[in-house]
Amino acid sequence: MVPVVIELTLKAGRERSVLRRHPWILSGAVAAVEGAEGQEPGGAVRVSSATGKVLGYGHYSPASQIRVRLLSFGAAAPGEGELAARVAAAVARRAGCPLLGETNALRLVNAEGDGLPGLIADRYGDVVVVKLGSAGMQRRRDEIAEALREATGAAAGFERADAAAARREGLPAHQGPLWGEAPAAPVAIRERDREFEVDVVEGQKTGFYLDQRDARDRVAQLAAGRRVLDLFSFTGGFAVAAARGGAEQVTLVESSSSALARAELHMKRNAPAASFECHGEDAFEFARKSERGVYDLIIADPPPMARRRGDVQKASRAYKDLFLHAIGLAAPGARLLFFACSHHVDADLLRKIVFGASVDARRSLRVLGTLGAPVDHPVSLDHPEGEYLRGLLLEL
Ligand code: SAH
């Protein structure tokens, strides 16, 4: 982290969030910056209050609304090997976690949740897929690659471009191998008794929805003898779990033809005798038009609909419409898993939306439980923005 050349001073009274260890300094809180001129973005920065008190150290993002991501708090600067030490610690925590057995695909570094703002690293077998979501992490690409290689012993590391982050940071999106060979074919992974082939180069996120692992386990437990509907199936994570769990029939709906083709392959591989059908269409339309009352287990896992706070109202209406129609497809006694994956739709709002849908559908639902991201996606209490995936398990 040394040498620090950028000095940032906050506006008067804007140190409150830093004192509560929130890792972001937003542009509106900044009074003055010195030493950043002519520098490559992502440099080390010292943050001080308006009265001159040193509050912490971090990485400077000159173009981003999140102007600084803090790595440490207080007057002591982090040492040179701090990033590598945090990467190693994050990997070691997972290795020692009894809840993370039976899978060779997991998140190794979850950004702020692991004290590494801007860094995502997911392991798929012998390949580590990395997203560098801040100027600071991009600038330290080599250091991070080396730390991940060392901590995991994986044969290859691959950087996935993050277009949204690149836009936010005002940097070009970059994609390519970090070490070892670039993965040529999809990477085979195994999660409990489920096998998937993950397209780590082109697939959504880093290739797979690792964050739905616990929910897949639930689906497997609930599926026996049931007619299952997997709305927004992507590559069939839930559908495969349902088939392995003994579902009577599985219906997948997904608008991406490449994802659906892979889902079909996954179904055939994991459950050769399963009865299933794939619908390459709009899931909202499908839910609106399908025959009512025929499914006993329905999963609705739509893409994020409220990326910004200002989108929440519109998103709430879209979620409600989706859930309303999904409820209509449910047979008596059916169980439903409804998800929202936007930070701005919190657990309370999701429950209210589902309640509204149930009132309009004139069907009464019981909440059996809540669902969320598994333990390899930790959320720091200092950074509640890191929480985004909420699910409700309901019963008709
Ligand atoms: N349940 C999946 C992840 C779903 S992510 C899993 O666990 O792996 C949301 C998915 O919805 C994406 O695959 C996206 O391609 C798809 N999608 C987005 N809009 C859609 C629409 N209107 N109709 C159907 N699928 C859609």
What structural domains does the chain harbor? 6-73 (2.30.130.10), 82-187 (3.30.750.80), 209-395 (3.40.50.150)
Rounded Cα distance between 312 and 109, Å, is 28
Which of the residues are catalytic?
341
- Nearest atom in ligand 1 to the alpha carbon of residue 235 is 8
Rounded Cα distance between 148 and 233, Å, is 31
Q: How far is the CA of 390 from the centre of ligand 1 (A)?
A: 16
Query: For residue 2, what pLDDT is reported?
Result: 55
The reported pTM is: 0.96
Q: How many helices (H) and strands (E) does the chain have?
A: 11, 20
**Percentage, residues of the chain above pLDDT 90:** 96
The residue whose CA has the least distance to atom 5 of ligand 1 is 303
Rounded Cα distance between 2 and 77, Å, is 8
Q: Is the pLDDT of residue 325 over 60?
A: yes
pLDDT digits (tens, 9 = 90+) for 287-313: 999 999 999 999 999 999 988 889 999
Rounded Cα distance between 321 and 262, Å, is 28
Give the dihedral of Cα atoms 285, 290, 294, 299; nearest 10 deg: -10
Q: Is the pLDDT of residue 3 over 90?
A: no
For residue 85, which amino acid is it? A
As for ligand 1, residues whose beta carbon falls within 6 Å of it are 204, 209, 212, 232-235, 237-238, 253-256, 259, 282-284, 301, 303
The residue whose CA has the least distance to atom 11 of ligand 1 is 232
Ligand 1: residue of 232, 319, 377 to mutate (most ligand atoms within 8 A of CB) is 232
Rounded Cα distance between 153 and 217, Å, is 28
Is residue 8 helix, strand or coil? strand
Answer whether 135's CB lies under 8 Å from 45's CB.
no
CA-wise closest residue to 392 among 359, 367, 362: 367
Rounded Cα distance between 18 and 2, Å, is 21
Rounded Cα distance between 36 and 28, Å, is 17
Ligand 1: residue of 122, 210, 234, 281 to mutate (most ligand atoms within 8 A of CB) is 234
Q: What are the tokens at 180? A: 């070892």
Q: Is the pLDDT of residue 59 over 80?
A: yes
Query: For residue 4, what pLDDT is reported?
Result: 78
For residue 347, which amino acid is it? A
Handedness of CA 42, 46, 50, 55 (dihedral sign): positive
Answer whether 44's CB lies under 8 Å from 2's CB.
yes
- Nearest atom in ligand 1 to the alpha carbon of residue 209 is 8
Q: Quick one: 295 exposed, middle or buried, by C-beta within 10 A (0-12, 13-18, 19+)? A: buried
Q: How far is the CA of 260 from the centre of ligand 1 (A)?
A: 10
Query: For residue 101, what pLDDT is reported?
Result: 85
pLDDT digits (tens, 9 = 90+) for 211-220: 999 999 999 9
Query: For residue 308, what pLDDT is reported?
Result: 86
Q: Is the pLDDT of residue 58 over 60?
A: yes
Q: How far is the CA of 234 from the centre of ligand 1 (A)?
A: 5
Rounded Cα distance between 329 and 336, Å, is 10
Q: Is the pLDDT of residue 321 over 80?
A: yes
Q: Is the pLDDT of residue 368 over 60?
A: yes
For residue 342, which amino acid is it? S
Mean pLDDT over each residue of the chain, to the nearest integer: 96
Q: Is the pLDDT of residue 246 over 60?
A: yes
Segment 50-61 shows an average pLDDT of: 98
Q: How far is the CA of 130 from the centre of ligand 1 (A)?
A: 22
The residue whose CA has the least distance to atom 3 of ligand 1 is 234
